[in-house]
């Protein structure tokens, strides 16, 4: 079965290479209309999924993510229209140059081909991922969580209707219709048919996919993000940035997990900062110096430093020098997002140069590591491996470049 | 042992991030001098390798590749000086833009980190690969063929001397000192220490590496390259291009393996072309129409079409229409290099748009798929998977880009 899905996807990918933006955008807009017109039916199908998990012990947060209501459907439709409005990356000639022998050589963006997208419970990801893949000219094979199978199949059915009605290949969007894990393993073995695998979900899912895949995986394990408050920081700015980075949305990968503070400004900075955190319900796990200054904080243990808390928990370390902060980030960071707060020009430049993370910021919140916030348009994920696209991935990152060469009879000497 | 090598490499990679071009270039030039000054010792060490394979049944061609003499040593030294003269890709800001909230966002090139380079018998690859990795700011772990171990260790020793004498970390270039395959498997499991694996060698080696690696692999299986001679081709130009593509150096990946000829021009084109090929010793394996026209050619079998002959053998197919040529390339090609010969504007554009290969050429030989020929400078390999860098990989392709963000206190709303 999986072979058949892969072969259909590869055929669709070949057709999509010839399709122009106007047709893809028409399909995306029709998809949006179809979602809005079929709200009641979508919600009915979603109820089947919700009924299925009622006695499964799924957490309230997970059930919330699984639930489709009017607001979520409108947001999905809005997302489709936004993707339709984004510029099409395909066909862009990023560079063209002339060789001494007169060959004109250029590089032009092309779709990757077939994308395998493996995700967990949110059914709206079905629509997000399908729209980004279509706009970038890729066929997609979607494998969502088994608990969302009715919602996913129904949503994909509407998207495929829109493809058909706009003259595009239906098989450009396929949902694996079973819920078993063997299907995922079979998908991960289709190395001749699928060009790239993107998993989205918890670390367990991503490790499973990475260890079983014969196909390249763009992966994002975790975000252990740091803010380093330098000895030359504007303390008011540091307070705002650190509070925002930790508290504005603690459950996401670009939230701060560890705050590093230079010892010279610790006495002036930390009392107010820690009080503000504690008032917001943030649990502080401090290094020995921090705990000595604030006896009501918890002593951090070694495993706290590389930890992605995804919660109102913050590790705090007082450092004696900027180098100590850089060493700490190098040792415990996850190459995701790290920020410095400083007024010193040289420290800012040094931090930008030395921190080896996908997004490095000066005087701004780590929460800006996001495709929309950085100006890439919609985002399909954040890649923390350095291959292909390091950091947030938008439409352009779902393409690759081939060389095109215009000759007039040149041969190699 | 392999863990220790990986940890040293990661440490070196961190040091290399801070190193400027002038220092790297000084090291490369010193390496060139050391190779020239130590010719006799290099040749002595190489003799040990040659003695080791004397009774091993290695082919003459393989022994030739293993042999280091004055000319090869001079060429390695020349390569080092050429790499020193190339522009350094690290630090380039490829784009920078302003967000509505005033954040300045840019993307800047950084080294990949640690590269595992696995190759077969040529010891000069040790020097080529090490020089490209160093210039692009990467640490490299080299695993050459067991038959070249003395040469590889001695050459790497000279390179490391040059690193030390120019104040760079010696551990930036390491050779795995054993010859066993378990060492390769151990290297392929160092996913937390090594960022990318590049294998260079036969399809067997590359398939072994791909199937055992937990680390992303940039791979190049084979080049089944086509030239399509269109009905609107300049036949004289077609003759020159096809002859060059097949005969100039038949044993390499960018040589033509299949020639596709439109039936309308076959009677005018093929007799002279086939005679020229036959006079050059090329064995023709033709489709039924070809064999009917030229009874002294061999009938091609199905397995000839996806075959990389790497020899003076050519598959020839007469097609009834351009679409048939495109279908053939889509079905049997290897996404490597394909060319059209035509005077028709629309056919040229269609071929460039539809052929999904790393290099697509109009009116030029397939032999131009090469980093040097296309103007990328030296090349470390050709990637036929679409991830990261599709096609020839030069220095730039050994880097990735991180986002740098200049703020003045921005927080996320």
Token representation of residue B3: 């863990």
Residue B105 pairs in a beta bridge with B97, B405
Structure confidence at residue B233 (pLDDT): 98
A&B contacts, CB < 8 Å: 199
* H or E, element range at B41: helix B39-52
Q: Does B243 score more than 80 pLDDT?
A: yes
Structure confidence at residue B352 (pLDDT): 96
- Note whether B103 contacts A403, CB cutoff 8 Å: no
Looking up tokens 């008011």 gives: A236
Residue B203 or A239, more confident: A239
- Note whether A364 contacts B237, CB cutoff 8 Å: no
Question: Which of B52-66, B116-130, B388-402 has the lowest average pLDDT?
Answer: B52-66
Residue B219 or A289, more confident: A289
Q: Does B179 score more than 80 pLDDT?
A: no
Alpha carbon B399 to its chain centroid, in Å, reads 16
The 10 Å CB-count burial string (b at 16+, else e) for A60-92 is: eebbebbbbeeebbeebbebbeebbebebbbee
Q: pLDDT by residue (tens digit) across B330-361?
A: 999 999 999 999 999 999 999 999 999 999 99
To the nearest whole angstrom, how far is the Cα of A64 from the nearest Cα of chain B?
A: 23
Q: Which one of A228, A330, A409, A413 makes the best mutation probe of the B interface by having the most chain B beta carbons within 10 Å?
A: A409
Length of chain A measured in residues: 413
The two counts, helices (H) then strands (E), for chain A are 15, 16
What ipTM was reported for this prediction?
0.93
Residue A202 or B152, more confident: B152
A137 Cβ partners below 8 Å, 6+ apart? A13, A16, A17, A19, A24, A88, A90, A110, A111, A399
Residues in chain A closer than 8 A to B408 (CB atoms):
363-364
Nearest Cβ partner of B407 from A216, A361, A405? A361
CA dist., res. B170 & res. B21, Å (int): 17
State the pTM of this model.
Answer: 0.92
Structure confidence at residue B204 (pLDDT): 86
Nearest Cβ partner of A354 from B17, B196, B348? B17
Structure confidence at residue A136 (pLDDT): 97
Q: Does B364 score more than 80 pLDDT?
A: yes
A188 Cβ partners below 8 Å, 6+ apart? A116, A197, A209, A212, A213, A214, A215
Nearest Cβ partner of A402 from B348, B357, B408? B357
Structure confidence at residue A79 (pLDDT): 94
Catalogue all structural domains in chain A, each as residue range(s) with its CATH number. 2-219+389-406 (3.40.605.10), 225-373 (3.40.309.10)
Please say whether the beta carbons of B126 and B156 come within 8 A.
yes
Q: Which one of B234, B328, B412 makes the best mutation probe of the A interface by having the most chain A beta carbons within 10 Å?
A: B412
DSSP structure string for A78-113: HHHHHHHHSPP-TT-EEEEEE-TTS-EEEEEEEE--
- Note whether A112 contacts B387, CB cutoff 8 Å: yes
Phi-psi region of B326 (alpha: psi -120 to 50; beta: other; left: phi over 0): alpha
Phi, psi at residue B213, to the nearest 5°?
-90, 135
- Note whether A365 contacts B240, CB cutoff 8 Å: no
Q: What is the pLDDT along chain A (413 residues), one digit of tens a residue?
A: 899 999 999 999 999 998 999 999 999 999 999 999 999 999 999 999 999 988 888 888 888 889 999 999 999 999 999 999 999 999 999 999 999 999 999 999 999 999 999 998 789 999 999 999 999 999 999 999 989 999 999 999 999 999 999 999 999 999 998 878 889 999 999 988 999 999 988 888 888 998 888 888 988 878 999 999 999 999 999 999 999 999 999 999 999 999 999 999 999 999 999 999 999 999 999 999 999 999 999 999 999 999 999 999 999 999 999 999 999 999 999 999 999 999 999 999 999 999 999 999 999 999 999 999 999 988 888 999 898 999 999 999 999 999 999 999 999 99
Phi, psi at residue A243, to the nearest 5°?
-65, -45
Q: Does B302 score more than 90 pLDDT?
A: yes
To the nearest whole angstrom, how far is the Cα of A13 from the nearest Cα of chain B?
A: 11
To the nearest whole angstrom, how far is the Cα of B265 from the nearest Cα of chain A?
A: 18
Q: pLDDT by residue (tens digit) across B307-317?
A: 999 999 999 99
**Residue B54's pLDDT band (cuts 50, 70, 90):** confident
Closest CA to B364 of B201, B222, B240: B240
Residues in chain A closer than 8 A to B353 (CB atoms):
17-18
Token representation of residue B333: 């090609």
To the nearest whole angstrom, how far is the Cα of A233 from the nearest Cα of chain B?
A: 11
pLDDT (mean) for B85-113 = 96
Token representation of residue A166: 């706009």
B167 Cβ partners below 8 Å, 6+ apart? B23
Structure confidence at residue A57 (pLDDT): 80
Q: Which residue of A has its CA nearest to B90?
A: A353
Token representation of residue B390: 């599709």
To the nearest whole angstrom, how far is the Cα of A380 from the nearest Cα of chain B?
A: 16
Nearest Cβ partner of B375 from A99, A360, A375? A99
Alpha carbon B168 to its chain centroid, in Å, reads 27
Q: Which residue of A has its CA nearest to B405?
A: A361
Question: Which of A395-399, B61-65, B74-78, B324-328 has the lowest average pLDDT?
Answer: B61-65
- CB count within 10 Å of CB A354 equals 16
Please say whether the beta carbons of A215 and A247 come within 8 A.
no
Give, to the nearest 10 degrees, the angle between helix A21-37 and helix A149-165. Answer: 130
Residues in chain A closer than 8 A to B385 (CB atoms):
195, 216
């Amino acid at each position: 079965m999986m072979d058949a899905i892969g072969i259909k996807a590869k055929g669709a990918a070949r057709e999509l290479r010839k399709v122009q933006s106007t047709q893809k955008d028409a399909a995306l807009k029709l998809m949006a209309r179809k979602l809005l017109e079929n709200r009641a039916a979508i919600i009915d199908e979603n109820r089947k999924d919700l009924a299925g998990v009622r006695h499964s012990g799924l957490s309230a947060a997970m059930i919330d993510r699984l639930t489709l209501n009017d607001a979520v459907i409108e947001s999905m439709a809005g997302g489709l229209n936004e993707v339709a409005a984004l510029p099409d990356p395909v066909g862009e000639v990023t560079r063209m140059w002339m060789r001494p022998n007169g060959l004109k050589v250029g590089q032009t963006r092309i779709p990757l081909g077939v994308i395998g997208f493996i995700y967990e419970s949110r059914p709206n990801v079905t629509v997000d991922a399908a729209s980004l893949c279509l706009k970038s000219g890729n066929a997609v094979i979607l494998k969502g969580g088994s608990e969302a199978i009715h919602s996913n199949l129904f949503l994909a059915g509407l998207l495929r209707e829109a493809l058909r009605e706009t003259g595009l290949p239906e098989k450009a969007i396929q949902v694996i219709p079973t819920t078993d894990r063997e299907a995922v393993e079979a998908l991960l073995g289709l190395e001749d048919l699928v060009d790239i695998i993107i998993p989205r979900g918890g670390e367990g899912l991503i490790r499973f996919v990475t260890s079983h895949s014969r196909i390249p995986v763009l992966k994002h394990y975790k975000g252990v993000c740091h803010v380093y408050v330098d000895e030359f920081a504007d303390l008011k700015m540091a307070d705002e940035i650190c509070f925002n980075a930790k508290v504005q949305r603690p459950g996401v990968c670009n939230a701060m997990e560890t705050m590093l503070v230079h010892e010279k400004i610790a006495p002036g900075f930390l009392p107010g900062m820690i009080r503000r955190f504690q008032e917001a319900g943030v649990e502080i796990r401090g290094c020995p110096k921090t705990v000595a200054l604030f006896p009501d904080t918890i002593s951090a243990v070694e495993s706290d430093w590389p930890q992605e808390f995804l919660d109102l928990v913050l590790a705090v370390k007082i450092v004696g020098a900027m180098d100590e902060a850089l060493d700490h980030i190098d040792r415990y960071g996850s190459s995701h997002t790290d920020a410095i707060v400083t007024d010193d020009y040289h420290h800012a430049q040094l931090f930008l140069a030395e921190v080896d993370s996908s997004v490095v910021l000066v005087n701004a919140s780590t929460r800006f590591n996001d495709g929309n916030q950085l100006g890439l348009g919609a985002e399909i994920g954040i890649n923390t491996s350095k291959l292909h696209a390091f950091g947030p991935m938008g439409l352009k990152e779902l393409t690759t470049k081939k060389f095109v060469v215009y000759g007039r009879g040149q041969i190699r000497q």
